[in-house]
């Protein structure tokens, strides 16, 4: 019988899954009992990879990154030049070599404004709490997730609470708070709350790595905050390391000083990707006491610690908060804004709402908008029906409006980028470009690019792209990033570089791209790549092309100089022979004749190179714009030594080594960003007009593991070092010639 073969639950319909007992079906009641709020912190505890805590190494980096970002934002908002110290202590130095991770204690100390006691729990113990999320203002952090997530990660992996010292008032005691986050309630639980004089922590100043170096001098931290998080992590140099992060952060933030005290023991796996700078290795030892580590403008790697000095002494311009641009809001946001307005301004009119809550909406425009959706200027926001709101949204999209104000953006600046690149990358040529603000989705943004070329950079590898969003380096997901695509799409072959099809150029090149915006569109919450908006990529390419043009002009000029040099060489080579032969023939004084011919040779090569290219065709006059935003360091042997300008000291009189030490850059723009061309006389005049009283401590002093190139001392409040000895004239490469530089102001 066919029914007998049916399953033993005769009442079950054939499509029901087979089970011995029918499961009790959920009812709305039972389901409702299980439904409850999911705490945000609970969610992220389970999904920590979304925040950049995927693996031990990245967790370590993310923690440092979030703390440093917060510190920088806080310092800048308070108008303090940031001085940030990062200390990583290895808490299991005796672990077996096979250990995949270790326990570290990360402490980040800043000299920022400090935090009011009442805010501490909120800032550090709660996810999605912050001052930055709700406003359209350019800042590093956005969502207010970072540091509390780091604390939570530490808590999860080690059970140790986060430790915070903060001194909001100079001279007063600091707060010492330890707190653990309750992931269920999204609230912090304070375990220790006391006042202390120990700020910055004496323990850190006593670390063996810091011995002999003035780390965390209390005088430099009158106010400030120190965050300590213990976590399970892994310290390893190379790409995506804390070292790289700080290095890049220092490039994009030349106004900040960073000190990094490395853990005593690193994971044994060695780095495979070289950093931008060549590490000097531990044998250099710490700088001698009494020497201010902040004086050189180039980074110093002392092995156990690294000092990234301050390159410029001006803070980035303060940014203003802006109202959203009508075109930048989405319908849902618009509805919410209407609701919020109605709540705060009971009975407010749409006409006022439009003017009050948006930028670039004048009274007239607001009137137009009202008219277009069929309401009057007196219509109340409360009376706006959803269809009208939708109509308004459409009107927004079609309206002709001015772009949003751009004073909400703080570019790094051409000058600062050059300084930053110079300090971090040993190259021969630097160029930077800062675009003016543009808009994507109604949000203003601004793209800056800089390139470093030649010098010690590897010549046959693909260019290194370093990416920044609001001055924060982006270390991962490079190929997903709009900026990387922009680099690959730019035709670098136009600028005499090699470039495989559809890929980044190959050569001794570092490309830096910075996007500043009130809202950087990241592809994910871990903020690793910039989303690929056409408007953004276009600006990036334009900025890169600007830099590329400068590089191209430089490379052509270098080739030209080489030609000139070779040509002059040929003439000069034969002149001596000719003078002697002529003397033998008719008794003309060979020396006199030699000098006359030499003068002609110089004149001849100068004229020929000004007017002719290698094909003998007249060359276009160089665009002076190509010389702005450019920094050229004549690395030894990088370019043929150009001939001296007549009447100026002869650089050939110097030995090669001396000459190498004197290579100093020409810089097109002054501190005030006015276009100052590479004209020697103008420079010297300026030098005479504005001599800075400050003594410049000479960077290359014998006592130091000095960088092999001349560096400008930055006029930071440094301890008065020995007055600079300047036995040789400083030389500068100007229009292919060396000219002496007055010992006056810094070029920057």
Partner 1 sequence: MAKKSPLPKLRERDKATLGKLTGLADAVAKSALAGREPKVEIPLRTKGNTTWDKKRGILRMGDATADRELFNLNQAKQFMQTMLHASTIKDLIEIGKTSSLRGVFYKAKHTVAGTKENTFDGQEESDPILEDLEVTLGALREELHIFAENRGTLVGNITIIDKGDEINARKQGSGGWGIPSIVEADVIQFGKCEAKFVLHVEKGTVWNRFNEDRFWEEHNCILTHGAGQPPRGVRRLLQRFNQELKLPIICLLDCDPWGHYIYSVIKQGSISLAFESSRLAIPEAKFLGIRAADFKDCKLPDAVKITLSENDIKRAKEIAAYPWFAEHKAWQKEIAALLDNGFKMEVEAMIAKGVSFVTEEYVPQRLKAKAWLD
8-state DSSP, 418: H
Which bin fits 64, alpha (ψ -120 to 50), beta or left (φ > 0)? alpha
Neighbours of 540 (CB within 10 A): 28
* 415 SS3 class: helix
Cβ proximity to partner 1: between 542 and 578 the closer is 578
Q: Write down the least CB distance from residue 610 to partner 1, Å.
A: 15
Q: Write down the least CB distance from residue 638 to partner 1, Å.
A: 23
Cβ proximity to partner 1: between 43 and 571 the closer is 571
Q: Which helix (H) or strand (E) holds 368?
A: helix 363-372
114: Cβ contacts below 8 Å, ≥ 6 apart: 166, 167, 168, 169, 174, 223, 224, 225
Cβ proximity to partner 1: between 367 and 576 the closer is 576
Written as one string, the DSSP assignment of 295-313 is SSSS-EE-SSEEEE----S
CA distance 310 to 297: 7
Cβ proximity to partner 1: between 614 and 743 the closer is 614
Cβ proximity to partner 1: between 332 and 616 the closer is 616
Peptide bond into 146 cis (omega under 30): no
Q: Write down the least CB distance from residue 579 to partner 1, Å.
A: 9
Cβ proximity to partner 1: between 17 and 616 the closer is 616
Contact 443, 535 (CB under 8 A): no
As to burial, measured by CB atoms within 10 angstroms (0-12 exposed, 13-18 middle, 19+ buried), residue 556 is middle
CA distance 597 to 579: 8
CA distance 69 to 275: 21
Q: Write down the least CB distance from residue 606 to partner 1, Å.
A: 12
Cβ proximity to partner 1: between 340 and 577 the closer is 577
Q: Write down the least CB distance from residue 653 to partner 1, Å.
A: 16
Q: Which of 520, 457, 441, 447 is nearest to 487 (CA)?
A: 447
Q: Which residue has the tokens 């204690």?
A: 105
Q: Write down the least CB distance from residue 584 to partner 1, Å.
A: 4
CA distance 733 to 740: 9
Cβ proximity to partner 1: between 339 and 573 the closer is 573
Neighbours of 130 (CB within 10 A): 22
CA distance 137 to 501: 39
Q: Write down the least CB distance from residue 71 to partner 1, Å.
A: 59
Q: Write down the least CB distance from residue 661 to partner 1, Å.
A: 25
In this structure, the strands spanning 438-440 and 429-434 are unpaired
Q: Write down the least CB distance from residue 564 to partner 1, Å.
A: 12
Cβ proximity to partner 1: between 195 and 614 the closer is 614
Question: Applying CB under 8 A, which residues contact partner 1?
Answer: 567, 570-571, 573-578, 580-582, 584-586, 588, 592-593, 596-597, 599-601, 604
Cβ proximity to partner 1: between 403 and 576 the closer is 576
Sign of CA dihedral 608, 613, 617, 622: negative
Contact 308, 423 (CB under 8 A): yes
Q: Write down the least CB distance from residue 643 to partner 1, Å.
A: 15
């Amino acid at each position: 019988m066919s029914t007998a073969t049916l399953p033993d639950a005769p009442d079950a319909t054939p499509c029901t899954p087979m089970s011995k007992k029918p499961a009790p079906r959920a009812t709305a009641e039972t389901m409702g009992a299980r439904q409850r709020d999911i705490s945000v912190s609970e969610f992220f505890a389970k999904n920590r990879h979304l925040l950049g805590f995927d693996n031990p190494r990245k967790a370590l980096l993310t923690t440092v990154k979030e703390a440093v970002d917060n510190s920088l934002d806080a310092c800048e908002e308070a108008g303090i030049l940031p001085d940030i110290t990062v200390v990583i202590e290895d808490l299991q130095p005796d672990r077996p070599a096979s250990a995949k991770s270790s326990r570290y204690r990360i402490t980040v100390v800043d000299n920022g404004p400090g935090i009011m006691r009442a805010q501490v729990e909120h800032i550090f113990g709660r996810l999605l709490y912050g001052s930055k999320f709700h406003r359209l203002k350019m800042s590093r952090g956005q969502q207010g997730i970072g540091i509390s997530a780091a604390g939570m990660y530490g808590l999860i992996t080690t059970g140790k609470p986060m430790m915070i010292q903060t001194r909001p008032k100079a001279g007063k005691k600091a707060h010492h708070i330890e707190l653990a986050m309750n992931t269920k309630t999204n609230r912090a639980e304070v375990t220790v709350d006391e006042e202390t004089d120990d700020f910055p922590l004496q323990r850190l100043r006593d670390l063996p790595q810091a011995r002999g170096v003035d780390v965390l001098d209390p005088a430099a931290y009158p106010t400030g905050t120190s965050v300590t998080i213990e976590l399970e992590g892994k310290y390893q140099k190379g790409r995506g390391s804390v070292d790289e992060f700080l290095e890049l952060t220092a490039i994009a933030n030349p106004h900040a000083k960073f000190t990094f005290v490395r853990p005593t023991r690193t994971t044994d796996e060695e780095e495979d990707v070289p950093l931008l700078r060549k590490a000097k290795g531990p044998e250099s030892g710490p700088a001698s006491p009494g020497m201010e580590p902040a004086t050189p403008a180039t980074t110093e790697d002392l092995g156990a610690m690294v000092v990234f000095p301050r390159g410029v002494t001006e803070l980035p311009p303060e940014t203003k908060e802006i109202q959203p641009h009508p075109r930048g809001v989405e319908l849902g946001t618009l509805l919410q804004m209407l609701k919020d307005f109605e709540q705060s301004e009971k009975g407010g009119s749409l006409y006022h709402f439009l003017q009050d809550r948006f930028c670039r909406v004048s009274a007239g425009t607001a009137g137009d908008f009202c008219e277009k959706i069929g309401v009057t200027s007196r219509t109340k926001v409360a009376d706006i029906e959803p269809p009208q709101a939708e109509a308004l949204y459409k009107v927004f999209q079609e309206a002709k409006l001015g772009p949003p104000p751009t004073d909400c953006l703080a570019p790094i600046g051409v000058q600062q980028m050059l300084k930053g690149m110079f300090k971090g990358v040993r190259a021969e040529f630097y160029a930077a470009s800062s675009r003016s603000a543009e808009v994507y989705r109604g949000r203003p943004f601004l793209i800056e690019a800089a390139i470093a070329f030649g010098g010690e950079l590897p010549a046959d590898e693909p260019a290194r792209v370093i990416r920044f969003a609001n001055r924060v380096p982006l270390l991962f997901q490079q190929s997903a990033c709009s900026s990387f695509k922009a680099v690959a799409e730019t035709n670098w072959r136009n600028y005499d570089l090699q470039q495989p099809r559809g890929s980044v150029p190959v050569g001794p090149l570092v490309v830096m791209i910075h996007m500043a915006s009130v809202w950087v569109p990241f592809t994910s919450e871990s903020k690793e790549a910039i989303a690929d908006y056409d408007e953004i990529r276009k600006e990036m390419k334009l900025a890169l092309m600007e830099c590329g043009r400068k590089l191209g002009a430089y490379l052509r000029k270098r080739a030209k100089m080489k030609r000139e040099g070779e040509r002059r060489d040929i003439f000069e080579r034969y002149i001596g022979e000719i003078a002697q032969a002529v003397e033998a023939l008719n008794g003309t004084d060979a020396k006199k004749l030699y000098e006359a011919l030499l003068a002609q040779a110089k004149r001849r090569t100068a004229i020929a190179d000004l007017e002719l290219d290698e094909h003998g065709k007249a060359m276009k006059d160089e665009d002076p714009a190509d010389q702005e935003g450019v920094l050229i360091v004549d690395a030894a042997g990088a370019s043929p030594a150009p001939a001296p300008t007549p009447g100026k000291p002869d650089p050939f009189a110097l030995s090669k080594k001396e000459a190498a030490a004197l290579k100093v850059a020409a810089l097109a723009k002054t501190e005030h960003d006015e276009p100052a061309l590479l004209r020697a006389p103008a420079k010297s005049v300026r030098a005479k007009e504005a001599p800075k009283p400050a003594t410049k401590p000479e960077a290359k002093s014998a006592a130091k593991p000095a960088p092999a190139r001349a560096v400008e001392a930055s006029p930071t409040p440094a301890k008065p070092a020995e007055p600079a000895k300047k036995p040789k004239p400083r030389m500068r490469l100007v229009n292919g010639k060396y000219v002496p530089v007055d010992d006056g102001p810094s070029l920057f």
